[in-house]
Structure 1
Amino acid sequence: MTSATTTPRRALSSAGGARRRVACLAIGVALVVASIVASLSFGSRAVDAAQTVDGISAWLRGETPTDIGALAVQSRVPRTVLALLAGAALALSGALMQAITRNPLADPGILGVNTGAALAVVIGIAFFGISGALGYLAMALVGAFAAALFVYFVGSVGPGGTAPIKLALAGAATTAALSSLVAAILLPRQAVMEEFRYWQVGNVARADWATMAIIVPVLVVGGLIAFLCASSLNALALGDDVAVGLGVHVGRVRVVAALAGVALCAAVTSVAGPTGFVGLMVPHAVRLASGPDQRWLLPLSALGGAVLLTAADTIGRVLGSPGEVEAGIVTAFLGAPVLIAIARRTRMKAL
């Protein structure tokens, strides 16, 4: 009797979960479309639907529109695309870091990866005369990987291994130390500070196609690796011993997924600056809505991150009109309460 009733219940639960995830996917796609329309339509100058269509049509034809509203729409296309790419990459990076560490506080900003990339870019500008997106990308990758390794090492030493709180504290301390080094390098160098000050809080205002063409290959490779690791990450959530019993190479999966997550974060940081909290907020919201299955969590997180950063950029332009509030400030304002709520939860040892 028990077996006969349990099987239908499991089938119904599985079917219900699948419907919920498909609904989340549909909602995510709809929100991406809505965020694109809002980003193109709103800013220091609001435009109507006809001007939005004219601006997009002219951009697709490679023409320069004569209407000022349509011209404003056309100028917003690159930053909208960069916001979508950057948000998706940051959320995907955060989801990977949370999965491989089983740490609810894992996030590129909290674990010092963003700041490590920023410090490396500043060093490249100040001491090696590096300029351009390719040079920034190379330095950001080096700095991000170095910071990630250092934080993981510091958070792993001592009794208890890599506990969530230890990693979060190690990341916070590393972020503070690296931020101080950034300030120490910038203060006596006015020219470098001018180059860096708009970039450091995270924004997509200086988006251009040439820059995006350089980082897109890194984002594509990192995203593909992340999605290919999804099933193995599900096994890791059951514990290392169970994962090994299921035939998963635990160390290899962690290294590969970590490389993908850090590369995604570094590529975005090199062009948009260290934008925080996207990788923390989005995976948590998606996990509550669709469950912990990484095969759904990763793509839904990418959609959610794209929506969040694009919306943050749009909100910043509207609130700061005729100037703008950088997207990184908006995401920090939204993310701080989320971080406090997560920190107050009682079960923080693992996801």
Structure 2
Amino acid sequence: MLLRTTSQKIIGLLVGSILLFLCFVASIIYGYTDTSLGLALDAFRNFDGSNEHIIVQSVRLPRAVIAAIVGASLAVSGLWMQALTKNPLASPGIFGINAGASFFVVVAVSFFSVTSLQTYTWLAFLGASVAAFAVYFIGSIGREGLTPMKLTLAGAAFAAMFSSLTQGLLVVNETALDQVLFWLAGSVQGRKLDVVTAVGPYIAVAFIASLFIGKKMNLLAMGDDVATSLGVKTGLVKLVAAVVIILLAGGSVAIAGPIVFIGIVIPHVARYFVGTDHRWLAPYCTILGAILLLVADIGARYVIMPQEVPVGVMTAIIGTPFFIYIARRGFHGK
């Protein structure tokens, strides 16, 4: 790991926080409509109803806030998934949470003609939660209880099932495909802060819980038998971690759609900086995840300007090479 002492890790958090703030400001300033830092400040201090001020207040600010929240949520949920399953490739996408959210939204559009983004948010959160609970329940069946292998297999099975059902519905219903295609690609564009207020309290509870389970997860990483001998209630810790994953991953998918790779990439980057101590990994993942999605969203505005690509496409471009590297290192020991 790069940062070895406590003081170095604290300094790293401060530097990361400054970078996060700069990325947040850049997200408000840069885009198709030319703005500057001074103009952005005037939009909040001396709002005059101009087109630029409206864009800053009503479009850019909510977009930056949502990107930061979603990026942090996906990164931390990926961290706890990897810790719980001992699988370096665990993420909301691989464990069926994204697929469950997508399936519920497509069902609502196909059979009930739902068009409201607010309704999409709640349906996606419900679908993600159902998928996560189903994976956790199936992975817990049997005398051995919850094991990393069973959880991984259950997640892969449900991801394949929900994805197949979703594709089947979209094939027979082109109208549904047109309505949800942009959401399915993952995007923070066009979202309003009211979608955050809908699931924000759940995400906030999950972040707070993450601050208290780091030490227990460190002991759990040593093995269930060792953790139990040290007084850890392994079943309770696993359940709390699972609920945190559901709230963070489900909430982020509900807000922005199934954005991929952040949950895989960021925990590994955080481990490069601070090692395997989950008490440090959680705050580092929070900051790095927010930075990555903010940067990806800024890049999404310029790739095919004046059009924009969904930010989920940008994270896939960034994350795919890293995913291949992790997979090769995991399977070949490199």
The verdict on a shared fold, with TM-score over 0.5 as the criterion, is yes
Counterpart of 2:67 (choices 66, 80, 83) is 83
**Relative to 1, partners in 2 of residues 1:134 and 1:37: Cα closer, same or farther, differing over 3 Å?**
closer
Instruction: Compute the displacement of 1:25 (Å).
Output: 0.3
Higher deviation after alignment, 176-185 or 227-236: 176-185
**Unaligned ranges ≥5, structure 1:** 1-12
Give a deviation string over 1:187-226, Cα, whole Å, max 9, x none: 3333322221110010011211222211111111111122
Alpha-carbon distance in 2 for matches of 1:88, 1:325: 21
Give the root-mean-square deviation of aligned CA atoms.
2.8
**Relative to 1, partners in 2 of residues 1:235 and 1:130: Cα closer, same or farther, differing over 3 Å?**
farther
Instruction: Compute the displacement of 1:146 (Å).
Output: 3.6
Give a deviation string over 1:101-152, Cα, whole Å, max 9, x none: 1221111112221111111222233234555466434433442234335545
* TM-score, with length taken from structure 1: 0.85
Is the Cα–Cα contact under 8 Å of residues 260 and 316 in structure 2 kept in the other structure? yes
**Relative to 1, partners in 2 of residues 1:132 and 1:220: Cα closer, same or farther, differing over 3 Å?**
farther
Instruction: Name 1:194's counterpart in structure 2.
Output: 178
Instruction: Compute the displacement of 1:227 (Å).
Output: 1.8
Is the Cα–Cα contact under 8 Å of residues 68 and 293 in structure 2 kept in the other structure? yes
Is the Cα–Cα contact under 8 Å of residues 113 and 145 in structure 1 kept in the other structure? yes
- Give the aligned length: 330
Instruction: Name 1:178's counterpart in structure 2.
Output: 162
Instruction: Name 1:305's counterpart in structure 2.
Output: 289
Instruction: Name 2:35's counterpart in structure 1.
Output: 47
Establish whether residue 246 from structure 1 lines up as the match of residue 234 from structure 2. no
Counterpart of 1:337 (choices 309, 315, 321) is 321
Alpha-carbon distance in 2 for matches of 1:311, 1:248: 39
Establish whether residue 326 from structure 1 lines up as the match of residue 314 from structure 2. no
Give a deviation string over 1:144-166, Cα, whole Å, max 9, x none: 234335545777889x98456x7
Alpha-carbon distance in 1 for matches of 2:332, 2:218: 19
- Secondary structure, aligned partner of 1:319: coil
Instruction: Name 1:139's counterpart in structure 2.
Output: 123
- Matches of residues 41-190 of structure 1 in structure 2 within 5 Å? 41-58=29-46, 63-66=47-50, 68-74=51-57, 75-130=59-114, 132=116, 135-151=119-135, 162=147, 171-172=155-156, 174-190=158-174
Counterpart of 2:258 (choices 259, 274, 283) is 274
Instruction: Compute the displacement of 1:348 (Å).
Output: 8.6
Tell which structure's C-alpha radius of gyration is larger: 1
Instruction: Compute the displacement of 1:174 (Å).
Output: 3.9
Is the Cα–Cα contact under 8 Å of residues 79 and 263 in structure 2 kept in the other structure? yes
Instruction: Name 1:7's counterpart in structure 2.
Output: none
Alpha-carbon distance in 2 for matches of 1:141, 1:245: 37
- Secondary structure, aligned partner of 1:187: helix
Is the Cα–Cα contact under 8 Å of residues 103 and 348 in structure 1 kept in the other structure? no
User: 2:6 is matched by which residue type in structure 1?
Assistant: A
Alpha-carbon distance in 2 for matches of 1:323, 1:55: 24
Is the Cα–Cα contact under 8 Å of residues 85 and 151 in structure 2 kept in the other structure? no
User: 2:56 is matched by which residue type in structure 1?
Assistant: V
* TM-score, with length taken from structure 2: 0.89
Instruction: Compute the displacement of 1:179 (Å).
Output: 2.0
**Unaligned ranges ≥5, structure 2:** none
Identical columns (%): 37
